[in-house]
Structure 1
Amino acid sequence: MFRLSYNANGLRNLTIERAIEEVAEAGYDGIELSLHPRHIDPFDFTGDHATVVRKALERAGLEACCLAAGADNLLSEERFEPSLVHPTGEGRARRVGLLKRAVRIADELGVPLINFATGKRKPEVAAEEAHRLLVDGIHQVLDGTDSDVVLCMEPEPEFFIDTNAGVAALAAELGSERFALAQDLGHCNVVEGDYLASVGRHLPLTRVIQVEDIKNRVHYHEIPGDGDLDFTEFFRILRRGGFDGHVSVELYNHVDTYRHALRRSREVLTAAAAASSGQD
């Protein structure tokens, strides 16, 4: 049975301790932590910080299901740059270094997964070259970290890999037990023709699924219930496929109304999950 979590990037105006408390008070099973200067600064994270987070999770009774490493401004003012497919070796090395830091932080916190993406391919980088650079960068992270933390790639609209099938093909090429898929239901709807079929087809490779609602296939994260997505059918697919990971609500653009977003999301999603059980 799936477990419901909430991504802390939607609570980034709060301290990390208060964000954990809010997620627990809203009735969630877990939290998806996020690299962000206000919460977990990857360049200033110490053992003392890890102790604070672990104790807050213990007090709240929450599981930290994943560490999201995809915030847009972690490395520069240019959004999501430099990426794993950046034109310069220096840029790619900075992204690889960030992912290695994310793995070490996840280990310190006892988090089993990190979530990351490819970044955008710039025009001066040919697709074949971008693929080679991407594979090389992921190998550097896998080979450069002595850890059981699994790297979960999230397809992102307008990024070099933007579909579940693209991540699946990369996983087959890499052949590593430490590389998996982080689906995003809204991204599937934006990019893929039959988003629900894609969800089901790629469940065996999936370790975590982010959700938000989407209107008219426009990439803007809506609160569940405010868009077009069929959450009842989504949960039916998860149940039939035996998915027992976390479904993590990601509403980074609803920071100012976070309590409404927390509670409304849980109400809509738990109702859809309950309704899905009667569809067989």
Structure 2
Amino acid sequence: MLKLSYNSNGLRSVPVEDAVRAVADAGYQAIEFSLHPRHIDPFSFRPADADRLASVVESSGIVACCLAAGADNLLGAERFEPSLVHPSHEGRERRLELTGRALEIAAWLGVPVINFASGPRRADVTDADAGRWLREGLARLLERADGVVLAMEPEPGFFVESNDQALALVDEFAHPGLTVAQDLGHCRVVEEDYLGSVSRAMRATSVIQLEDIKGRHHHHEIPGDGDIDFAAFFRICREQGYEGYYSVELYNHSDDFDGALKRSIAHLREQYDAAAAG
């Protein structure tokens, strides 16, 4: 069964409650929330806000499958900084606190998974230091998780930018609370054999984000507008028994979210059926 979600960061032009209803009305089974001042501001969001939002989700007949904790400017004007591999202790602590806050908000909302990223490694930081700081941070986050699953999302240009890197961390920790959040478009940008990468990481994957990509350029396109072979991708998912959600992430299409919602679901359903047929 194709279980489709849509990331709320693609509907930032409307209040979060309207985003939930729009996703449900378009036929999706779930919504992936995203930390963002417009929707869920991690610095002001409270349990009462979570109760109200969860009620809207329930009444809309969908579920909240994930909370994305990696918005680019939550901690300052420099995108994605400070990160989990920032050279300053204070910077890393700020990112850990924000990600821990995401875990807390997810628990309030009843969301089972948060996805997050390593952040970029600066030129003055060695791979060894970045790896040590990231592992220390992951260990602390796992202590705080309290039933919410952590999903590491590889991001082009980040310290962890490939599925294989994320998978190696998951295998090293061997903790059920640490998984991989695949992003199919990111795989296409970074990996020579993006479908092989998808296949290798599937065993540890808790959620998959979808967008199309043209020519391996990191720009999120509406499914069907790029070069990704979605039918081949869905065949891999079916063969490996993936039963989680596929969450469309089109943060750069919020000016026409209605069109993006409808075109995405139509193309993905078509390609899923094509995979099933052959």
SS in 2 for 1:155: coil
Q: CA deviation at 1:214?
A: 0.3
Counterpart position of 2:218:
219
Identity among equivalent positions (%) equals 54
Q: CA RMSD in A?
A: 0.7
Q: CA deviation at 1:202?
A: 1.2
Counterpart position of 2:49:
49
Distance 2:123 2:169 in 1: 21
Counterpart position of 2:204:
205
Cα distance 1:174–1:199, how it changes in 2: closer, same or farther (>3 A)? same
Counterpart position of 1:150:
149
2:145 counterpart of 1:113: no
Distance 2:174 2:71 in 1: 27
Counterpart position of 1:194:
193
Distance 1:183 1:215 in 2: 18
CA contact (8 A) 1:2 1:243 kept: no
TM-score normalised by the chain length of structure 1:
0.98
Instruction: State the number of aligned residues.
Output: 278
SS in 2 for 1:138: helix
Counterpart position of 2:271:
272
Distance 1:208 1:2 in 2: 13
Distance 1:8 1:158 in 2: 24
The one-character-per-residue Cα deviations of 1:114-148 (angstroms, maximum 9, x if unpaired) are 000000000111001100000001111112x1511
SS in 2 for 1:214: strand
Distance 2:171 2:276 in 1: 33
Counterpart position of 1:37:
37
The one-character-per-residue Cα deviations of 1:239-278 (angstroms, maximum 9, x if unpaired) are 1110000000000000101000000000000000011111
Counterpart position of 2:180:
181
Instruction: Give the counterpart letter for 2:216 in structure 1.
Output: R
Counterpart position of 1:131:
131
Counterpart position of 1:66:
66
Runs of 4+ in 1 over 2 A off after TM superposition: none
CA contact (8 A) 2:163 2:197 kept: yes
SS in 1 for 2:260: helix
Distance 2:250 2:145 in 1: 32
Cα distance 1:57–1:82, how it changes in 2: closer, same or farther (>3 A)? same
Instruction: Give the counterpart letter for 1:260 in structure 2.
Output: G
CA contact (8 A) 2:103 2:145 kept: no
Distance 1:146 1:102 in 2: 10
Q: CA deviation at 1:62?
A: 0.9
Q: CA deviation at 1:2?
A: 3.8
Distance 1:213 1:5 in 2: 15
The one-character-per-residue Cα deviations of 1:192-222 (angstroms, maximum 9, x if unpaired) are 0111111112111000000100000000000
Distance 1:236 1:118 in 2: 29
Counterpart position of 2:162:
163
Q: Runs of 5+ in structure 2 lacking a partner?
A: none
SS in 2 for 1:219: strand
CA contact (8 A) 1:35 1:71 kept: yes
Counterpart position of 2:27:
27
SS in 1 for 2:212: coil
